[in-house]
A and B are shown apart, each in its own frame.
Chain A
């Protein structure tokens, strides 16, 4: 079958090289992810389905190969597998390979809230009619946030903000936005003995309740909707800004931290 699909020696050699290369990759990255990647990669190349559309999973795979985050790689492989599963013209045993790849990529990863999307993909895999597969997956995706919560990364690493030292003051000038995707920012204030000032802008909600908190040494200040300059008293620890809101439809909570400084920094 392989020689029929790849009837030029060069293409066959390329495929062999691909298998060898990806097997080598397994030695480096997480095993489950490399296997899933390999399965989806071969599916992209060997599927006889629509041509231009296969560029989409190919690009998603390329992104997943190069991205620095394993969570991003897992979800990108899932998306690529879902794309092939939807547009392939082959029958369910072939589609189940894509499903297996998606399961393999997501389940061991640190991405939460993926139960409904995976169940939708599994159900879509059963149907031969493409529009039915499409509908099932679309409905499951739309329902996913309501049923199992919005898929999210369980890795809670905060984003460290780059400080600059100015005589005895410290300033943070790179603006950052905290939302569902990136919830926490860390300011390294452990060496600063002065109060910390933060210029914050929060919004995207339909109420006036706080969107998040600023914490330093157990001292907590809430971040309310609107523009505000907060002052956090001196302390010896780091400062954490966190967006606390959980998913609700039609809400786009966001906290923009535009700048921060300690002491008498020249702004």
Chain B
């Protein structure tokens, strides 16, 4: 995309950016867009900062057109809600191509990120692990301990560090202190200060990535690296209190400094490996990968030294932790037989989940990479070229990532997505590798289209930051926001939680085509065809209803179970982890329209779990039809060691619906116009009730 005709006046670009900011400010008020006091000021501020940090940059054509798109969509915003999102996203997105241009200049990385700083620091909800890291940083400074339970909420009335699920003995934080210590300077500026420090750490990590690429002969990569920060998965946590970017930076430092021959390289490798482990035990496989990569370039003598040093160092760390630190680093977290038990259980019982996790990590609509970052397809397509031309880079960046992802999928086959924290945050250490792959395909026309779509998504995630957070319930926040809650199209995306093979296969083919096409027309054609096919399926009559997605017109009362969307409440469920809809009050009702078919009768199928000491009664009624059913469910089989573990932990999970098997109710209902109603006759107390999984209404042949 070429810039607009260069002007003789050096600062014409700055003037045009200022004019753009004024246009956004004016149009926002002229059209009566919502939240003029917050977004209506922050977005123009982004334009003004952009003009100041790079005054000599020309205005890009893409910027002008996206500004016009903002104007068009802001006029139409009252017609439909998606247009409002398009308008707001376009107003920020218009700046992104210019920010990438800025990256190629002196001090380009910080100057490129500075304009969006207010959006990153002020607007993203302070949630997930962030309060814990902030509390831990404060605890280290003020209390001199690692107990974060008595911090933060005294300092900031908006922030609360709730007890974590895995709070350790003696109130030691689940999180390690190294990253929190790095954040300490930010304590002076409260939450915003901590986030600014985290952004600085991400910038340093990106600078290290540029250097690493340079050491492998990949030049002029500043723009590429800024893309890594502006697009998912990097965008998900850039400027937030998560250690992913520091890990990516350490990996890049290992590739940059550790790949040198001689003892200096060896020392850098060992240091990075140690820091990765100190940062988070989750990064232990990254550290192992770094050491393994070093083995490839080391001489025989160095290999011996490295192996000895690794064994000695690991033993020393474990011994110091056991005898001096009281096990606070490793032993009380993972030093018990349950750890080994979980790994063995995952390997033998959950093997399909473990093996399918890599595919899910790409395609799952909530946590999958390709939905948030289509550019990843081009990056993956570039890996063979990376192997051919910069093999050393692939070894240094790829081997640690391979081990890391393998460990994540093996250790957490149900929780690799890290929900409900920002989507894809576990994949941030993969960013240097993905950027190295992208380096080899970035000149393809098809890649440019994928990058453009990724930038449009970035615009959405910057102005709708809450869309980064999914809850592992089978629906994506962005898709629900654009298409509407419970829209038929939202059911057609591949989801691990609501696993159906067909969407995975069809979308897999779609994304495979996007990855292999090189030409712009082919990519565009695939996109349009994909959208058209989606439209076909979305406009087909609905026969299958996930009850937890039913919008208010289709349900009166009825509560969701579990009441909190946080997936941690479903982590220990043995079967499906979908939320369910509970009929527990006599006024609770489900109302579904009966399809107008030529058939005489309809087949109604309901999957549900009646939970109660006595059989539960379900009343099904439709025009000319009423039936009362007495239902009881069978309990799901539970491994004895899980029961023993629960007894030890004093957990009473015997009467929760996840411990019951689905009961399938099939009825034949006369086909007349009207609606089908499901209800119960009496109010029951929690946890009793009728828990519904799905409903299906089809004409009987």
Give residues in A with beta carbon < 8 Å to B: 5-6, 8, 10-11, 14-15, 17-18, 21-22, 24-25, 28-29, 37, 41, 44-45, 50-56, 58-69, 71-72, 74-76, 78-79, 82-83, 86-87, 111, 117, 134, 137-138, 141-142, 144-145, 150-153, 159-165, 167, 170, 177, 179-182, 188, 191, 204, 247-254
Mask: chain B, 626-667; 1 = CB below 8 Å from A; 0 = not: 000000000000000000000000000000000000000000
Query: What's the minimum C-beta distance from B485 to chain A, rounded to whole angstroms?
Result: 9
Task: Please name the residue on chain B nearest to A159 by beta carbon.
Answer: B552
Q: Given contacts A50-B61, A151-B76, are A66 and B487 in contact (CB under 8 A)?
A: yes
The residues in B between 564 and 580 inclusive whose CB is less than 8 angstroms from any CB of A are none
B residues less than 8 Å from A72 (CB atoms) = 79-83
Q: Which residue of A lies closest to B559 (CB)?
A: A164
Q: Answer yes or no: B34 CB below 8 A from chain A CBs.
A: yes
> For the complex, what is the distance from the CA of A151 to the CA of B83, rounded to whole Å?
12
Chain A's closest residue to B555 (CB) is A162
Contact residues in B for A252 (Cβ distance below 8 Å): 29, 32-36
Which of A24, A65, A145, A163 has the most chain B CB within a 10 Å cutoff?
A65
Question: CA separation between A6 and B76, bound complex, in Å?
Answer: 35
Instruction: Tell whether A181 pairs with B84 under 8 Å between CB atoms, given A68-B488, A79-B73.
Output: yes
CB distance from B37 to the nearest CB of A (A): 9
Chain B residue nearest to A54 (CB atoms) is B524
- Give every chain A residue within 8 A of B683 (Cβ-Cβ): 167
- Docked pose: A78 CA to B77 CA in angstroms: 13
- Give the residues in chain A near B588, CB-CB below 8 Å: 165
A76 touches B82 (CB 8 A): yes
Per CB-CB distance, the 6 closest pairs between chain A and chain B, nearest first, are A72-B80, A65-B535, A68-B487, A62-B531, A66-B489, A55-B452
Contact B532 A11 (CB under 8 A): no
Q: How far is the CA of A136 from the CA of B555 in the complex (A)?
A: 48
A72–B481 alpha-carbon span in the complex (Å): 13
Chain B residues with CB under 8 A of A51: 1, 445, 448-449, 520
A residues less than 8 Å from B61 (CB atoms): 50, 53
B402 at the interface (CB under 8 A from A): no
Chain B positions near chain A (C-beta within 8 angstroms): 1, 27, 29-36, 61-62, 64-66, 68-69, 71-73, 75-84, 86, 445, 448-449, 451-453, 456, 479, 482-484, 487-489, 519-522, 524-536, 538-540, 551-553, 555-557, 559, 585, 587-588, 683
Contact A165 B585 (CB under 8 A): yes
Given contacts A44-B524, A247-B32, contact A153 B79 (CB under 8 A): yes
B521 and A45: CB pair below 8 A?
yes
Contact B80 A6 (CB under 8 A): no
Which residue on chain B has the smallest CB distance to residue A24? B536
Knowing A25-B539, A52-B452 touch, does A111 contact B62 (C-beta < 8 A)? no
Q: Is the CB of B78 within 8 A of A79?
A: no
Residues of B within 8 A of A141 (CB): 71-72, 75
Does the CB pair B556–A152 fall under 8 Å?
A: no
In angstroms, Cα B34 to Cα A182, docked, is 11
With both chains docked as a complex, state the minimum distance between the C-beta of A182 and any C-beta of chain B, in angstroms.
Answer: 7
Query: In the bound complex, do residue B525 and residue A14 qualify as a contact, i.e. CB atoms below 8 Å apart?
Result: yes
CB distance from B199 to the nearest CB of A (A): 27
- Determine whether the beta carbon of A66 is less than 8 Å from that of B538: yes
Residues of B within 8 A of A179 (CB): 32, 34
- In addition to A29-B539, A134-B68, 11 A-B residue pairs with Cβ atoms within 8 Å of each other are A14-B529, A41-B532, A44-B524, A45-B521, A55-B453, A65-B532, A75-B79, A144-B75, A150-B31, A170-B557, A252-B33
List, in ascending order, chain B residues with CB within 8 A of A65's CB: 489, 531-532, 534-535, 538
Residue contact B525 to A11, C-beta cutoff 8 Å:
yes
Contact in complex: A165, B82 (CB < 8 Å): no
Roughly how many angstroms separate A188 CA and B557 CA in the complex, as a whole number? 10
Cβ–Cβ < 8 Å partners of B82 in chain A: 63, 67, 69, 72, 76
Contact yes or no, B539 A161, CB < 8 A: no
- Alpha-carbon gap, A76 to B484, bound state (A): 15
CB contact under 8 A between A45 and B524, given known A67-B82, A79-B86: yes
Contacts of A111 in B (CB 8 A): 79
Q: Are A68 and B483 in contact (CB under 8 A)?
A: yes
- Which residues of chain B are near A17, meaning CB under 8 Å? 529
Looking at B72, B73, B484, B520, which has the most chain A CB atoms within 10 Å of its CB? B72
Whether the pair B30, A249 counts as a contact (CB closer than 8 A) is yes
Q: How far is the CA of A170 from the CA of B553 in the complex (A)?
A: 16
> CA separation between A37 and B534, bound complex, in Å?
13
Interface centre among B528, B540, B555 (most CB of A within 10 A): B528
Contact A63 B86 (CB under 8 A): yes
**Closest B residue by C-beta to A143:** B75
A11-B522, A182-B81, A249-B29 known; A188-B556 Cβ under 8 A: yes
Given the interface contacts A54-B524, A72-B79, A83-B69, does A160 sit within 8 Å of B552 by beta carbon?
Answer: yes
Main SS at interface, chain A: helix
Task: State the CA gap A146–B344 with chains docked (Å).
Answer: 69
Which listed residue (B35, B65, B449, B528) contacts A61, Cβ 8 A?
A: B528
- Cα of A212 to Cα of B660 in the assembled complex, Å: 48
Whether the pair B521, A11 counts as a contact (CB closer than 8 A) is yes
Is the pair B552, A71 in contact by a Cβ cutoff of 8 Å? Answer: no
Nearest CB in chain A to that of B23: its residue: A138
Chain A residues, Cβ within 8 Å of B536? 21, 24-25, 28
For the complex formed, measure the closest distance between the CB of A75 and the CB atoms of chain B, giving whole angstroms: 5
Contact of A62 among B76, B445, B527, B539 (CB under 8 A): B527
14 CB contacts below 8 A, A to B, read: A28-B540, A37-B532, A51-B448, A58-B449, A61-B531, A69-B484, A75-B76, A134-B64, A137-B72, A142-B30, A150-B78, A152-B78, A153-B78, A162-B552
The smallest beta-carbon distance between A133 and chain B, in angstroms, is 10
A160 nearest CB neighbor, chain B only? B552
Is A18's CB under 8 angstroms from B528's CB? yes
Contact, CB under 8 Å: B528 / A41: yes
A58-B62 CB under 8 A given contacts A72-B81, A181-B84, A250-B30? no
**Would A55 and B538 count as touching, CB distance under 8 A?**
no
Residue of B nearest to A181 (CB): B78
A82 touching B556 in the complex, CB below 8 Å, given contacts A18-B525, A249-B30: no
Contact in complex: B522, A56 (CB < 8 Å): no
- List the B side residues contacting A64 at CB < 8 Å: 535
B13 to chain A, nearest CB (A): 17
Which one of B65, B451, B538, B552 contacts A56 once the chains associate, using CB atoms below 8 Å?
A: B65
Tell me, in angstroms, the Cα distance from A248 to B479 when the chains sit together. Answer: 32
A15-B525, A67-B489, A151-B75 known; A59+B456 contact, CB < 8 A: yes
Contact: B525 with A66, CB < 8 Å? no
- A67 with B482, Cβ < 8 A, contacts A150-B31, A250-B30 known: yes
Q: Which of B33, B531, B559 contacts A66 (CB 8 A)?
A: B531
Chain B residues with Cβ under 8 A from A180's Cβ?
Answer: 32, 77-78
Contacts of A37 in B (CB 8 A): 532, 535
Could you tell me if A86 and B533 are in contact, using CB atoms closer than 8 angstroms? no
B71 nearest CB neighbor, chain A only: A141
Q: In the complex, A153 Cα to B587 Cα: how many Å?
A: 33
- Provide the residues of chain B in CB contact with A177, threshold 8 Å: 34
Q: How far is the CA of A146 from the CA of B445 in the complex (A)?
A: 42
Q: A8 — nearest CB in chain B belongs to which residue?
A: B522
B71 touches A142 (CB 8 A): yes
Q: How far is the CB of A118 from chain B (nearest CB, A)?
A: 12
Distance from A212 Cβ to chain B, minimum over Cβ atoms (Å): 15
CB distance from A225 to the nearest CB of B (A): 14
Minimum Cβ distance to chain A for residue B180 (Å): 34
A71 contacts across to B, CB distance below 8 A: 79-80
Most chain A Cβ neighbours within 10 Å, of B79, B529, B536: B79
CB distance from B270 to the nearest CB of A (A): 44
* Contact (A18, B529) CB under 8 Å given A10-B522, A72-B80: yes
Docked complex Cα distance between A35 and B57 (Å): 42
Are B531 and A68 interface neighbours, CB within 8 A?
no
Q: Is the CB of A79 within 8 A of B72?
A: yes
Question: What residues of chain B lie closer than 8 Å to A191, measured between beta carbons?
Answer: 587
A22:B552 contact, CB within 8 angstroms:
no
Contact of A58 among B1, B487, B528 (CB under 8 A): B528
